[in-house]
Structure 1
């Protein structure tokens, strides 16, 4: 039996469980079961809380919490912005941390988190890297030009004109150059709403179209800022699951949004 909690950040949802001593070795099949929305608990991924000293390659971080994130298909992802906020909320509600600012180890590096008023959490996202050249992204017969953005994990952000977002068919994974994204990519389609305000839809590798993607909102803001010739500013990004704020400056990006735990229980593995 596995004790778990279910949480979400702008409807990007996760199955959370703690394994401080690194003794759980869940199989890919068990991860997929936990994320199955009919046969299991249901989620876009799983979040395992483990001390970094038990994770190969990260032992130098000692007892700092490590976010072991797995996609719904059990593939490993380097980073997850919504997942990190839910991870922090989970640690707090389980009494594993207090509400002081904290560093968390991820496969994309150490990330800083702060608890704000209500259900809001702000996290540092590192310094996003933007490729100078655009890349083709295909959806069915349509071909778009996207911007490759690294937010600790790979993204292709496509900027659309107004009115094109809702007509896209994202039932299948968009196409993109494998040589640019050898480990696959998350793909964002971004449409302007107002000044420093965009909405987006996202295809997450290993999951499919999701209601939200934290790193994807940062990629959307970075691509929009790059197109506008701006290096700093605050962007509101609206995925289908809600609204998130992305603060950009040369020192890095910060993502602010809600994170809530909605259920707890035990599941038979």
Structure 2
């Protein structure tokens, strides 16, 4: 796994590109809404490999392994918690097979759906869940870790602790937040990102925020607190739920790229897409961002 310093050398010199959405594209490919993504991907590896290969061909320099909810507390609902480490390692290896020359980030996320992750009494539970996942991601050969769609500072603190205990290398931290830059806890995001950066984060930023004309202003607000790499990975607008219960994202790649161009001018350095984006979005983004 890369150290923070090694990672910074790899991404130095301008804009760098992350991948786009995974879950929404897997659902388009047939994954049921109620499926355990990690279990489904292991049963349909060719679909994931094809998607990630397309992202790499579109210009992604960092791919997120499909380990979003591969923590014991989440895998327990499908009786796979005892296989946590093995599942994470297998999914990292699968991503590596799709793009051997691309950086692979082991993906962690909020546990708010499974526990009161903001409650200090649950801190040790969070740390243990993240430690087991991180152990598997390291065993699988992840180049770095990314904690994304975080909702509460306590989750980031638990991941920071778990990563230190497992002697992990570079870790990026990305929160979902309100358009005004406040977290779902009500706290202002900027100071939280600054504290994480000071604590050793390799990069900080946001994801799963609907891209719109205000997104570049959010980047500007966060840049006042962040001195290093700033991650910007928004959704393709606000979704509309169709008759099949699937979220449709109305924004076109060209409009998304126009917004991202302003985000880059305002200080975002790690650019990608979240829900509703696909390899086509990334192709337009990488070809037209400068």
TM-score, length basis structure 2:
0.29
Which structure dedicates a bigger proportion of its chain to strand? 1
